[in-house]
Amino acid sequence: MNEEIVKLQPEKVWYYFKEILNIPRPSKKEGKIIAYLLQFGINHNLETIKDETGNILIRKAATKGMENRKSVVLQSHVDMVCEKNSETQHDFDNDPIEAYVEEGWVTANGTTLGADDGIGVATQLAILASGAIAHGPLECLFTIDEETGLTGAFGLRANLLQSDILINLDSEDEGQLFIGCAGGQDTLAWLPFTRIETSDKHSAFKLMISGLVGGHSGDDINKERGNANKLLNRFLWKFQDSLKLKINLFDGGNLRNAIARESLAIVIVPSEKAGDLKKEVAIFEKTLKAEYHASEPNLSFKINIADLPETVLDAKSQSVLLDTLYALPHGVIAMSQDIDNFVETSTNLASVKFEGEEIVVTTSQRSSVESKKEDIVSMVSSIFHLAGARFESSDGYPGWTPNPNSEIVDLTQNLYKKLFGNKPEVLAIHAGLECGLIGDKYPNMDMISFGPSLKGVHSPDERIEIKSVLKFWDLTLEVLKNIPAKT
């Protein structure tokens, strides 16, 4: 299935992208791709370093006549988000990604594609392997665990890189140059619960919200997409009293930086209420389809008979869970006062999982204003506090403040217009980029981020536009060729 990809242009980029598709690389399990990169460096006689965190740095000398140019580090992350449709059989720890070409895009068979940021890795490898690309002193940094903790960027030493300029290859809209990003923080809570025995006079059902688009909790948070956790909880909260509904299990969402696409609950109702439950599910599905007719065309809310469980949550535990999930905000909290149509602050109700004797609720907050990030984290924490939950927030990561005097931004803008005949957009991004953390360690480094067009990232709908990869490649090479000399 992956073979047709190597026929695409630019050939070497797609060749290495195919190689990467065959290497499992979940976040925190990047050993196989790290081994591949180390062997790549040896095979090409390039200085290759693995740092204490697991990041890989490969250095390549300048091409003849360009030794006096400013040094550039190209940067991407090696891990990928591992999401799949519920009916898809795939082992992300061992199976290759099955990709195919469809109507001008490359996509995967029921799983995430890993173009975020596999296409950046492939581009770096194609440049490192080539003897015909003009560039000054070059470093290629491959960071680990960007998707679940930014571990690689956090652990990067402040004296490892030697470059003056960083080009991050982890953006997802061709024709846009990014010069700033939001900072972020995760807030997790552990809700204790108590179970009671189930009565034989009840019937059990599996309720499932599915078919949602999902997407990146930064890039896609403003697109009015449904959150499966919020929608399912809305139904359960509404009918817990009138249908005497009791919950055995609530399981929704997976990743902190993905909008929940699917959520399920195992519930029981008195047997005489079974017909009413089925009726209300059908009505609620119609309501949701009307509310999300544009953004969620494939939304589905289904009910199926389940085996009667031995236990369900007691009344207090269920009330605390449903009230907490209902109260937790999700989506855009504030728009920027400085940039038109730019999300400033948001929060994502990412996942709800039963683990042992606790229910783990994972949320993530983002903001380009540090004080507003602290505020939304406090808002979410206060809800968990009222619920009597144990909760904690991660250390978070800083935003990347735009530099209005950036030399690399001016150069890239001009070269883009020269190559393609129109001006690129220069923007900040609500998603997190490693530039913020790297900039903290290298405050004098001039930085920019750009990439080809990806859609549906962090979901099984992830796809990459083929023609945009060629433009991305041409722009990257043109920038490297025109990096100014050291002063």
Strand partners, 393: 187
Q: Which residue has the tokens 């039963």?
A: 354
The residue written with tokens 């108590």 in the block is 194
Report the distance separating Cα 49 and Cα 36, nearest Å: 13
**Mean of all residue pLDDT scores within the chain:** 96
Domain(s) labelled CATH 3.40.630.10 in the chain stretch across: 2-182+399-481
- Sheet with 454-455: strands ordered across: 99-102, 105-108, 463-465, 454-455
Residue 1: per-residue pLDDT: 64
- For residue 88, what pLDDT is reported? 93
First to last CA, the chain: 50
Predicted pLDDT of residue 146: 93
User: What residues pair up with 403 in beta bridges, in sequence order?
Assistant: none
CATH number of 185-393: 3.30.70.360
Instruction: Determine the topology of domain 2-182+399-481 in CATH.
Output: Aminopeptidase (3.40.630)
Measured distance CA(429)–CA(39) in Å, rounded: 34
The total of other beta-carbon atoms located within 10 Å of residue 43's CB is 10
Contact call for residues 363 and 348 (beta carbons, < 8 A): yes
Q: Identify the segments of the chain with pLDDT beneath 70.
A: 1
CB 139 within 8 A of CB 49: no
Pairwise CA distance, residues 234 & 241, whole Å: 13
Residues recognised as catalytic: 79, 146
Over residues 184-203, the pLDDT tens digits come to 999 999 999 999 999 889 99
3-state secondary structure of 285: helix
CA separation for the pair 299, 303 (Å, rounded): 14
CATH 3.30.70.360 domain extents, the chain: 185-393
Nearest CA to 465 out of 23, 7, 101 is that of 101
Q: What is the pTM of this model?
A: 0.79
